[in-house]
């Protein structure tokens, strides 16, 4: 972490948090691990001009990351390991690779011997000779083969963190931390490894190779990759200038609309992100809220059951949230045809829960008088241009479990799902 989380990196957080909800709904026990990289070149580079230590910058950005993703209201992953807390297992894993002949130390660096893995390239389906680790310049004189990648980097001038290893002082390369952390927390051969499809090569290919060669086993059974968010013509990556921060998007549109947008496309597809699409998502949120008004407690009409079943069948088919959402809106259409009879909310709440949006249909989703008062104070502060006070009041509301959302009739309070 060397900067605030942007909306593109919020997509995997949302996709895998919701996948966990769905798998739990289907009766599976799920452990969700999302790691935090707090040691790498970009952190050193970003810290220097800020006159901060890299450790302080990483800690500050990790704290922001937790706050910003908390505002999604999807809960925290079960574990969020830090690279800097995993050095011992990383060093042990590198030592195993060296001992087995799959890695070699040179001048304090350690490199993975790519051609010693006969299955290298199987994940990204690339031929070995067509690959480029993006590390050609650095270490090119020390590598046996340009394809080899760094497991450990010798300490360099200007780097303010350092750890000790049998082959010298330095710090881990980027790929090895994931193999080590995953094995520590989940064991080798766990079910699903996720991530953005920009990570397939080299990152995930290298993770898979490290574990395969050290343990004679595959790291994960299934690799699941989400598509990128596209902002205009360019994919959202931190290197691109046109970055929307997650906190900015949630402040402007609310977490309900953001989640509604993200579940509106199949996770594997690239997805366009712009204000117009956010407005459409807001309208969809309003449609759900509207349909939920006037529902009664209890089971939904049995004739509407096939739509609920279609929703879960779509999720069971490669987690197709877009098709599931289609079924949910058909359910809502059916509900509107039954304006004059009592319709039970159970099916709608069950569907929305898996999407992290059950706050749209639950009882008690009306805020109390105190919260309404805080909201009014916040609007007054905003109108007076006192944005610091407005932000404080928004945070106060958030701490009480309410999010401020701009609705068609002005701002309203929406329950945050914990």
Eight-state DSSP code of residue 365: -
Query: In whole angstroms, how close is the CB of 178 to Zn ion at the nearest point?
Result: 3
Question: In this structure, what are the phi and psi dihedrals at residue 158, rounded to the nearest 5 degrees?
Answer: 95, -15
Residue 275: strand, helix, or coil: helix
Asked if residue 264 lies in contact with residue 325, where contact means CB atoms within 8 angstroms, the answer is yes
Q: Tell me how crowded residue 344 is: count the other CB atoms within 10 A of its CB.
A: 15
CB closer to Zn ion out of 178 and 220:
178
Smaller CB separation from Zn ion, 178 or 404: 178
> Closest approach of Cβ 203 to Zn ion, in Å?
6
Q: How many CB atoms lie within 10 A of CB 187?
A: 11
Shortest distance, CB of residue 182 to Zn ion, whole angstroms?
A: 8
Distances, alpha carbon 256 to alpha carbons 53, 68, 286, 288, 376, in Å: 36, 14, 10, 11, 21
- Span interacting with Zn ion, options 13-21, 72-80, 173-181, 349-357, rule CB under 5 A: 173-181
Region from 174-182, 249-257, 288-296, 337-345 binding Zn ion, contact rule CB under 5 A: 174-182
Say if residues 340 and 293 touch (Cβ distance below 8 Å). no
H-assigned helices in 71-173: 87-99
Q: Which stretch binds Zn ion (CB under 5 A): 160-168, 171-179, 226-234, 247-255?
A: 171-179
CB of 207 to Zn ion, least distance (A): 6
- Whole-number Å distance between alpha carbons of 404 and 418: 16
Given the structure tokens 């080590």, which residue do they identify?
Answer: 180
- Minimum gap (Å) between residue 20 Cβ and Zn ion: 18
Q: Does residue 257 touch Zn ion according to CB under 5 A?
A: no
- Kindly tell me which of 98 and 182 has the beta carbon lying closer to Zn ion: 182
* Cβ neighbours for 361, distance < 8 A, ≥ 6 positions apart: 288, 289, 292, 295, 345, 348, 349, 352
Residue number with the shortest CB distance to Zn ion?
Answer: 178
Considering only the stretches 79-87, 170-178, 374-382, 398-406, report the one whose residues sit in contact with Zn ion under the rule CB under 5 A. 170-178
Question: Which C-beta is closer to Zn ion: that of 36 or that of 178?
Answer: 178
CB 28 → Zn ion: shortest distance, Å?
23
Classify residue 401 as left (phi > 0), alpha (psi -120 to 50) or beta: left
The least distance separating Zn ion from the CB of residue 195, rounded to whole angstroms, comes to 7
Angstrom CA distances, 278 to 149, 260, 322, stand at 40, 9, 16
The smaller minimum CB distance to Zn ion, of residues 94 and 178, is found at 178
Q: Which is nearer to Zn ion, 12 or 254 (CB)?
A: 12
Q: Considering only the stretches 50-58, 176-184, 186-194, 378-386, report the one whose residues sit in contact with Zn ion under the rule CB under 5 A.
A: 176-184
Among 10, 178, 288, 349, contact with Zn ion (rule: CB under 5 A): 178
Measured from the CB atom, the residue of 151 and 281 that comes closer to Zn ion is 151
State the nearest-atom distance from the C-beta of 199 to Zn ion, in Å: 7
Tokens 């209890």, located at residue: 298
Q: Residue 210 in contact with residue 179, Cβ under 8 Å?
A: yes
Q: How far is the CB of 204 from Zn ion (least distance, A)?
A: 7
Would you say 18 or 208 has its CB closer to Zn ion? 208
* CB closer to Zn ion, 151 vs 178: 178
Q: Total binding residues for Zn ion by CB under 5 A? A: 1
Q: Is 261 in the site for Zn ion (CB under 5 A)?
A: no
Host H or E run for residue 67: helix 54-70
- Between CA 389 and CA 377 the distance in angstroms is 9
> Which residues are at the interface with Zn ion (CB under 5 A)?
178
């Amino acid at each position: 972490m060397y900067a605030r989380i942007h909306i593109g990196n919020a997509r995997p957080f949302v996709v895998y948090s919701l996948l966990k909800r769905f798998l739990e709904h289907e009766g599976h026990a799920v452990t969700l691990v999302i790691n935090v990289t707090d040691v790498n070149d970009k952190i050193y580079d970003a810290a220097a001009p800020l006159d901060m230590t890299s450790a302080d910058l990483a800690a500050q950005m990790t704290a922001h990351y937790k706050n910003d993703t908390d505002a999604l209201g999807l809960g925290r992953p079960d574990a969020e390991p830090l690279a800097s807390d995993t050095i011992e297992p990383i060093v042990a894993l590198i030592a195993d690779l060296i001992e087995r002949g799959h890695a070699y130390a040179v001048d304090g660096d350690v490199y993975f011997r790519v051609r010693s893995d006969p299955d290298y390239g199987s994940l990204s389906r690339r031929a070995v000779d067509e690959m480029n680790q993006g590390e050609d310049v650095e270490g090119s004189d020390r590598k046996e083969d340009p394809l080899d990648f760094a497991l450990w980097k010798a300490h360099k001038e200007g780097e303010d963190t350092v750890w000790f290893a049998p082959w010298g002082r330095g710090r881990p390369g980027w790929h090895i931390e994931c193999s080590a952390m995953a094995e520590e927390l989940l064991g080798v051969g766990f079910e699903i490894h996720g991530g953005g499809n920009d990570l397939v090569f080299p990152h995930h290919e290298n993770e898979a190779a490290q574990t395969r060669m050290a343990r004679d086993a595959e790291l994960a059974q299934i690799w699941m990759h989400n598509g990128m968010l596209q902002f205009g013509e360019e994919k959202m990556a931190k290197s691109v200038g046109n970055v929307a921060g997650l906190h900015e998007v949630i402040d402007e549109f609310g977490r309900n609309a953001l989640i509604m947008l993200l579940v509106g496309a199949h996770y594997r597809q690239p997805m366009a992100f712009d204000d117009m699409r956010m407005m459409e998502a807001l309208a969809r949120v309003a449609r759900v809220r509207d349909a939920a008004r006037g529902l009664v407690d209890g089971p939904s009409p049995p004739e509407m059951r096939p739509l609920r079943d279609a929703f879960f069948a779509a999720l069971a088919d490669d987690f197709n949230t877009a098709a599931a959402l289609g079924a949910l809106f058909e359910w809502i259409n059916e509900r509107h045809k039954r304006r004059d009879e009592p319709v039970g909310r159970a099916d709608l709440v069950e569907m929305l829960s898996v999407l992290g949006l059950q706050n749209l249909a639950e009882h008690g989703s009306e805020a109390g008088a105190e919260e309404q008062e805080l909201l009014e104070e916040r609007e007054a502060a905003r109108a007076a241009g006192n944005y610091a006070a407005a932000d404080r009041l928004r945070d106060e509301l958030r701490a009480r479990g309410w999010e401020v959302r701009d609705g068609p009739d002005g701002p309203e309070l929406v329950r945050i799902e914990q």
